[in-house]
Amino acid sequence: MASQKEQQLIEIIRVLSKGGFYSGQAIADTLDVSRAYVWKLIQQLQELGLGIESVTGRGYCLQFPVELLDEERLKQSLSLNELEVRLITDSTNEALKSEGFAHNKLVVAEYQSAGRGRRGRQWVSPIASNLYLSLGWKTQLPVQQLGGLSLVVGLAIVNALKQLGVKDVEVKWPNDIRYQGRKLGGILVELSGDMVGGLNVIIGVGLNVHMASVAADSIDQDWINLQELKPDISRQAVLINVIKQLQSHLEQFSSEGFESFQADWRQVDECFNKKVSILQGDDVINGVGAGVDTNGAFLLQTGKGIKPVYAGEVSLRFREGD
């Protein structure tokens, strides 16, 4: 349940989403609060990463269109056991982990204050700009058979985007969604539980939709928005498609394993036949991407043959030259 202040922030976003300029007084009248309080709310939204322009004598307007997620429409469109749509959370993975994990439970947020990527990296999460979601999945599969799970999630995302007209998206092993070398999104899979009661799997996904460049100042790599690839793309439609594809892929993964996805993986594998370096601690191994094995391990072609590399505390980077 959103707090009163969160409801006020949501209402300001809804007002500004209609387009054009709105004076502080007009917004204050809508919310039945003072102009000074509206100014504070606008400041908070700007601090949360929302692009709001302020012009003396005209008021406030959005720098780009914003679409808030519609919880009722999501409930009607998706087959879920539980759904939580939050304005603000620390991390959707943490919310699902700490506040009642459930199979086929989806947590989505408009803003994350402590979003995380792989290996604990910060995930930049401006408000009402991108997609931040976590899906709970209970499985009896042994942990040894889950090595290819993040790749299957990546495939699901690529297929969901293709259905919406966004083509040529690739996956960089093991968890980066990319377009022509620029990061479009990422995946964070976390496991808990045991083999007696089954494993609780939290599948976290972040996708850039229309993130303002000022909100992404701390990102240290090339990135791209879905809106650059398809200007009229809807966050709501992307979310619905991603979840439907994810549920379908997980069902196939449960019954047939990663091996059934290998041929499809080859079509989206950004690393295949590319010169790469594997970094693990102080060790660096150079080679050429040679696909993945039936468990999802990266296959590195080296001068001494093919070496399997397992996801964990390793980094993969593209390289030039010999």
Q: Which residue of the set 97, 105, 183, 235 is catalytic?
A: 183
178 is catalytic: no
Known binding residue 118? Answer is yes
**CATH fold label, 4-62:** Arc Repressor Mutant, subunit A (1.10.10)
Q: What is the pLDDT of residues 9-54, one digit of tens each?
A: 999 999 999 999 999 999 999 999 999 999 999 999 998 888 899 9
pLDDT band at 119 (very low <50, low <70, confident <90, very high): very low
Instruction: Give residue limits of the domains in the chain.
Output: 4-62, 71-267, 271-318
Q: Which residue of the set 97, 118, 172, 178 is catalytic?
A: 118
pLDDT at residue 67, rounded to an integer = 87
Q: What is the pLDDT of residues 61-114, one digit of tens each?
A: 998 778 899 999 999 999 999 999 999 998 999 999 877 899 999 999 999 887
Known binding residue 117? Answer is yes
The CA distance from 210 to 227, in Å, is 6
Q: Which helix (H) or strand (E) segment is 87 a member of?
A: strand 82-89
Q: Which helix (H) or strand (E) segment is 37 a member of?
A: helix 35-47
pLDDT at residue 2, rounded to an integer = 67
Q: Which of 222, 226, 221 is nearest to 205 (CA)?
A: 226
Known binding residue 81? Answer is no
Comparing 115 with 91, the larger pLDDT belongs to 91
CATH number of 271-318: 2.30.30.100
Q: What is the pLDDT of residues 128-162, one digit of tens each?
A: 889 999 999 999 998 889 999 999 999 999 999 99
Cβ atoms < 10 Å from Cβ of 66 = 19
pTM of the model: 0.90
Q: Which of 198, 205, 106 is nearest to 153 (CA)?
A: 205
183 is catalytic: yes
Tokens 């199979």 sit on residue: 103
Contact 269, 302 (CB under 8 A): no
Q: What is the mean pLDDT of the chain?
A: 90
Known binding residue 92? Answer is yes
Contact 270, 170 (CB under 8 A): yes
Contact 250, 202 (CB under 8 A): no
Known binding residue 305? Answer is no
pLDDT at residue 220, rounded to an integer = 61
Asked if domains 4-62 and 71-267 share a fold, the reply is no
Q: Which of 35, 210, 19, 150 is nearest to 27 (CA)?
A: 35
> Which of 4-8, 196-200, 299-303, 308-312 has the least mean pLDDT?
196-200
Known binding residue 200? Answer is no
172 is catalytic: no
CATH superfamily of 71-267: Bira Bifunctional Protein; Domain 2 (3.30.930.10)
Q: Which residue of the set 14, 182, 317, 319 is catalytic?
A: 317
Tokens 């036949």 sit on residue: 273
- Does the pLDDT of residue 123 top 70, yes or no? no
